[in-house]
């Protein structure tokens, strides 16, 4: 089969399209004929091997797994002997290892049946970005109906899902984005949209119940200033400079600051749960969430797709189609 292969750490130029052996599903896995995959920041972190702590998982000197890509949508080609809920021919979406390929294996517990009215490309946008948004709002932020929430970075992959999920919870949603993205964020039903080039939401004297931060473009005291006395701040990942211990320092700073405050400050890394795929599938089927896709690329253009994501201007998700 063909796959996008990484033999060393580096920029997207190290990725090449090659013939490799088709993977074989283990007992608790299924083999998926990949129809679509998505590019995510985690992909280029593993591509670069930075911050260097990532190499504790991915390989110290070179990648242990040669094929990148985690978000996947496709059809079941074969099943392991312990698989009970999926069968050959099922259209599925979820997480795998090595989605930038014609075939990939995934554990049954990390897959769900694809929403029937949505394309494979739309389904592939869900696992990392939408689940992260859901867990940040519901679990860390404990968002309730009627609360005022800010989505800082509302036009990106997580942000476009977060706006819609927060609305489905009954929140009053303010999206923060650049001038070019104002109409997009309005189109996904944000109640208010703030153009950060014209207004700083941390200085507008509005007290928010929850800030979901996809950008990290303010110091923690500024975000705290914009929160209500018992409000919550949730950072998607850790936004910091440095390739060594800086990410750990920033995460610790968020935790320690929260201990000294009535406000709650969190950072979050997504948990891969089938239950949350099913929650999002229901939101899609009820019309409460619609994936926003910026660009699609064929598999052989995966390096260009990652380069585009690295530029930081993607509106919604960047999809690889097979």
Least confident of 55-59, 125-129, 192-196, 288-292: 55-59
Question: Which is more confident, 208 or 62?
Answer: 208
Check whether residue 139 and residue 200 sit in a common domain: yes
CATH number, domain with residue 88: 3.90.180.10
Check whether residue 137 and residue 253 sit in a common domain: yes
Q: Which secondary-structure segment (H or E) carries 56?
A: helix 55-58
DSSP letter at 207?
P
Check whether residue 216 and residue 301 sit in a common domain: no
CATH number, domain with residue 150: 3.40.50.720
Owning domain of residue 13: 2-125+291-321
Q: What pTM value is reported for the model?
A: 0.93
Check whether residue 121 and residue 148 sit in a common domain: no
CA gap 68, 238 in Å, rounded: 21
Q: How far is CA 23 from CA 20, 47, 96, 106, 112, in A?
A: 9, 21, 12, 10, 20
pLDDT score of 244: 47
Q: How confident is the model at residue 55 (pLDDT cuts 50, 70, 90)?
A: confident
Average pLDDT in the chain = 93
The answer as to whether 277 is a domain residue is no
Res. 249: pLDDT tops 70 = no
Residues 6+ apart with CB under 8 A from 51: 45, 242, 243, 244, 246, 247
Q: How many domains are contained in the chain?
A: 2
Average pLDDT over residues 305-310: 94
Check whether residue 163 and residue 221 sit in a common domain: yes
Which pLDDT tens digit goes with each residue over 198-240? 999 999 989 999 999 999 899 999 999 999 999 999 999 655 5
Q: How confident is the model at residue 241 (pLDDT cuts 50, 70, 90)?
A: low
């Amino acid at each position: 089969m063909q796959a996008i292969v990484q033999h060393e750490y580096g920029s997207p130029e190290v990725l090449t399209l090659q013939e490799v052996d088709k993977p074989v599903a283990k007992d608790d896995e299924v083999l998926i004929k990949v129809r679509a995959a998505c590019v995510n920041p985690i992909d280029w972190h593993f591509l670069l091997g930075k911050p260097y702590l990532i190499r504790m998982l991915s390989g110290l000197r070179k990648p242990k797994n040669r094929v990148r890509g985690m978000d996947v949508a496709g059809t079941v080609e074969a099943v392991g002997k312990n698989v009970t809920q999926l069968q050959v021919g099922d259209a599925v979406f979820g997480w795998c290892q090595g989605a930038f390929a014609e075939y990939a294996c995934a554990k049954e517990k990390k897959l769900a049946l694809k929403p029937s009215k949505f394309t494979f490309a739309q389904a592939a946008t869900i696992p990392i970005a939408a689940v992260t948004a859901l867990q940040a709002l519901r679990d860390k932020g404990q968002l309730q109906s009627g609360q005022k929430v800010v989505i800082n970075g509302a036009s990106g992959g997580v942000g476009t899902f977060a706006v819609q999920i927060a609305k489905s919870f009954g929140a009053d949603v303010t999206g923060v984005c650049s001038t070019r993205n104002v109409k997009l964020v309005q189109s996904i039903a944000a109640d208010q949209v703030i153009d950060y080039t014209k207004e700083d939401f941390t200085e507008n004297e509005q007290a928010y119940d929850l800030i979901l931060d996809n950008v990290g473009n303010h110091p923690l005291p500024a975000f705290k200033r914009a929160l209500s006395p018992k409000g919550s701040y949730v950072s998607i990942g850790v936004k910091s400079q440095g390739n060594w211990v800086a990410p750990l320092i920033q995460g610790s700073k968020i935790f320690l600051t929260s201990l000294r405050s009535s406000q709650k400050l969190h950072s979050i890394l997504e948990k891969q749960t089938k239950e949350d795929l099913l929650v999002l599938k229901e939101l899609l089927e009820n019309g409460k969430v619609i994936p926003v896709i910026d660009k699609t690329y064929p598999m052989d253009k995966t390096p260009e797709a990652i380069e585009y994501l690295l530029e930081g201007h993607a509106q919604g998700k960047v999809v690889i189609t097979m």
